[in-house]
Amino acid sequence: MIKKPIIALDFSTKKEAVQFLDIFEGESLYVKVGMELFYQTGAEIIEIIKERDHQLFLDLKLHDIPNTVKKAMKGLAGLGVDMLNVHAAGGREMMEAAMEGLAAGTPSGGVVPKLIAVTQLTSTSEKQMQSEQLIPATLDESVIHYAKLAHCAGLDGVVCSAFEAEKIKKATNESFICVTPGIRLKGMNAQDQKRVMTPLGARMHGSSAIVAGRAVTASKHPLNTYRMIANEWEAVYS
Ligand SMILES: O=C(O)c1cc(=O)[nH]c(=O)n1[C@@H]1O[C@H](COP(=O)(O)O)[C@@H](O)[C@H]1O
């Protein structure tokens, strides 16, 4: 279980990301770096975050042929991050290759980062999935199918919405990590997300970790908003 809400550092420059982190000085965080920031800064931002002793989820959502993903993961493993992800739609062989790459790239004596697979993005609705991906199943069925595939491939967990977390754990096992983005405090705008939930709702639905981005980063009072989210989420552990 990941006790701290994971903050998505979705900024386009190093300067903005660092200014944001400065607000939390003295606090140990779990942050996520995604494509927007990583493609601009490269590994430099990872170093900055590690120097500040924050935990880090590098969210690059790899999705390519097995050999390419394996080699890419081998390189990424050397960055010393805590968690990485791939798209489950890349298939079982690709996910197994990702695991092999991670193990091969982790320096000897080091901890192999956790690997999780994106099932159906939280910005996807059932209707969209059926009409655009031509998947003739319910959204739950598709997400659970991808979760089982990731589980069979030996991954540590998945990214899903909180709505599916409990069902995934039943279909795999209790320790399978369900990281759930699409987190909003009550009354907040869902923006481009389709399957959103409050931190408390995520807690009740069996999420292992929550990801909060714009709710915190675009807040007028990021520290207060983060604390509100953390209080709802962490209450279960106290
Ligand atoms: O893999 C992810 O982190 C991810 C998967 C998913 O299905 N949905 C999703 O929103 N995310 C990420 O989680 C964050 C959510 O951002 P907000 O909607 O601003 O809270 C973004 O950085 C997304 O890239």
CA max distance for the chain: 49
Q: What is the pLDDT of residue 236?
A: 55
Domain annotation covers residue 78: yes
Q: Among residues 205, 189, 85, 65, which one has the least CA distance to residue 140?
A: 205
3-state secondary structure of 177: strand
pLDDT at residue 238 above 80? Answer: no
pLDDT at residue 141 above 80? Answer: yes
pLDDT in tens, 86-121: 999 999 999 999 999 999 999 999 999 999 999 999
Which residues span the domain enclosing 212?
6-237
- The pocket around ligand 1, CB under 6 angstroms, is made up of 8, 10, 34, 59, 61, 85, 118, 121-122, 159, 181-183, 193, 211-215
Determine whether 61 is an active site residue: yes
Domain annotation covers residue 40: yes
Q: What is the pLDDT of residue 1?
A: 86
pLDDT in tens, 38-95: 999 999 999 999 999 999 999 999 999 999 999 999 999 999 999 999 999 999 999 9
Number of domains comprising the chain? 1
**Taking residues 11-20, what's their average pLDDT?**
98
The confidence band for 136, taking pLDDT boundaries of 50, 70 and 90, is very high
Ligand 1, atom 4: closest residue by C-alpha: 181
- Binding-site annotation: residue ranges for substrate: 10, 32, 59-68, 122, 184, 193, 213-214
CA pair distance 28, 35, nearest whole angstrom:
23
Domain annotation covers residue 12: yes
CA pair distance 12, 35, nearest whole angstrom:
9
CATH for 22: 3.20.20.70
Domain annotation covers residue 1: no
The confidence band for 235, taking pLDDT boundaries of 50, 70 and 90, is confident
Q: In angstroms, what is the span from residue 120 Cα to ligand 1's centroid?
A: 11
Q: What is the pLDDT of residue 237?
A: 55
**Length reported for the chain:** 238
The confidence band for 131, taking pLDDT boundaries of 50, 70 and 90, is very high
CA pair distance 204, 189, nearest whole angstrom:
21
* The pTM of the whole model exceeds 0.95: yes
pLDDT at residue 177 above 90? Answer: yes
Determine whether 140 is an active site residue: no
Ligand 1, atom 6: closest residue by C-alpha: 121
CA pair distance 120, 185, nearest whole angstrom:
22
**Taking residues 209-232, what's their average pLDDT?**
98
**Taking residues 194-200, what's their average pLDDT?**
98
Q: In angstroms, what is the span from residue 213 Cα to ligand 1's centroid?
A: 7
- Encode burial over 40-65: b for 16+ CB neighbours within 10 A, e otherwise: ebeeebbebbeebebbbbbbbebbbe
Domain annotation covers residue 209: yes
